[in-house]
Amino acid sequence: MGFVVNLVFSAVLAYLLSLVYAQYGHALSNRKMFARNFVMITMTTMLIITIVKASLALSLGLVGALSIVRFRAAIKEPEELAYLFLAIGIGLGFGADQ
């Protein structure tokens, strides 16, 4: 039950974050297209942290996997990166039941 509640709350907060970014962001690229990724990034981060938080072996495996696979998004402005970190932070918080 707690997992579903956290998943819903993280999706709602990520959606609100995407609305704020699409409305008030100053990036020159297409903000609406970029903002659509926030919900998926947040929910995926929350799911991964929920799975990994109980196992040291899984967390070490995740670190190894992330060292091989790099996130290669074309970040044109620091503002985009800041919003991505906010989305990931929301997912981390809800995944860790914080």
pLDDT digits (tens, 9 = 90+) for 43-63: 988 888 888 887 777 777 777
Query: pLDDT tens across 1-13, in order?
Result: 888 999 999 999 9
Of 39, 26, 15, which is closest to residue 76 (Cα–Cα)?
A: 26
**Per-residue DSSP letters for 29-83?**
S-HHHHHTHHHHHHHHHHHHHHHHTT-HHHHHHHHHHHHHS-------SHHHHHH
pLDDT at 5 (0 to 100): 93
Count of domains for the chain: 1
- For 15, the domain range is 2-95
pTM over 0.85: no
Contacts of 79 (CB under 8 A, 6+ apart): 25, 26, 27
